[in-house]
Amino acid sequence: MSRPYQQAIAELARQAQALLGCELAASQLAQFEQLTGLLLDWNSRMNLTGITEPADIALKHYLDSLTLLPYLPQARRSRLLDVGTGAGFPGLPLAIALPQLRVTLLDATAKKLRFVEEAGRALKLDSTRTVHARAEDAGRDDAHRGTYDFVAARAVSRLPALMECTLPMTKRGGLIIAMKGSSAQEETRAASKAIATLGGELESVDEVRLPGLDKPRYLVMVRKVGKTPRRYPRQAGTPSREPIM
């Protein structure tokens, strides 16, 4: 059988090893190859990603998602929530790399979640589930509030609003990892009141460099140290429209 994405994924394996010290097994590489096929197939029918070269997908979607690995436990069965997962980033690559991690993939758009669900089934990622909801609504639901050890988000909203969409669902002692581009420092400053108000504490802003890309990315780490007041999150849409500033 021909394996069209073998080369791109072999390169991903090399980079994950060199950059993150992450050893991916043959079965995990096969899952990444399968995910690539599914993503490109579905992308020809609906808009899931603007990135369509297998090597670019491996670097900008997979390796970028895997840069969270050093912050996540290798052995414990912790819970990670991916808010605004879209086509499954960073949640699906993390679920492939860490089979014991319980990954919840949340998005407001049902269409994209159908892809994520299908990918989970096809790749036999039994540790994943999808939730179709606005983060603001999920944050008021006891099924999600104060539930997750880790909450990750990439390219969802500006940090002040994103804090209101993530801190309520984070366990006390848990960690939020917001994946940001060049605006990370400015957004972090703008979010300082939201972080404090919602029971968080800024831990660090870590620079990440991906091979071959000029611009660094940043991981904004926020620890949940207190309680989120009951009145948060506010109604869906309000955090972005009237961010806590």
The binding site for ligand SAH (CB under 6 A) comprises 84-87, 89, 106-109, 112, 134-136, 154-157, 165
Using CA atoms, how far apart are residues 108 and 128, in angstroms rounded to an integer?
Answer: 17
Q: Given the DSSP bridges, would you call strands 79-83 and 148-154 parallel, antiparallel or unpaired? A: parallel
CB-CB contact of 80 with 101 (8 Å) = yes
Minimum gap (Å) between residue 144 Cβ and ligand SAH: 12
Query: Would you give the DSSP letter of residue 171?
Result: E
- Closer of 134 and 225 to ligand SAH (Cβ): 134
Residue with smallest beta-carbon separation from ligand SAH: 86
Question: In 81-99, which positions are buried (b, 16+ CB within 10 angstroms) versus exposed (e)?
Answer: bbbbbbbbbbbbbbbbbbe
Question: What minimum distance in Å lies between the beta carbon of 235 and ligand SAH?
Answer: 11
> Which CB atom, from 26 or from 45, has the smaller least distance to ligand SAH?
45
Q: 43: which 2 tokens?
A: 């992308």
Rounded to an integer, what distance in angstroms lies between the CA atom of residue 169 and that of residue 181?
Answer: 24
d(CA 147, CA 195): 18
Nearer to ligand SAH, 82 or 149 (CB): 82
Q: Closest distance between ligand SAH and the C-beta of residue 161, in Å?
A: 8
CB of 17 to ligand SAH, least distance (A): 23
Least separation in angstroms between residue 134's CB and ligand SAH is: 4
Cβ–Cβ under 8 Å, residues 181 and 208: no
Q: How far apart are CA 24 and CA 27, in angstroms?
A: 8
Question: Considering just the CA atoms, what is the radius of gyration of the chain in Å?
Answer: 17
Given the complex with ligand SAH, which of 2 and 88 has the nearer CB atom? 88
- Residue pair 97/72 in contact (Cβ under 8 Å)? The answer is no
Nearer to ligand SAH, 74 or 109 (CB): 109
Minimum distance of ligand SAH from residue 153's CB (angstroms): 7
**Which residues share a beta bridge with 129?**
104
Query: CB-wise, 22 or 87, nearer to ligand SAH?
Result: 87
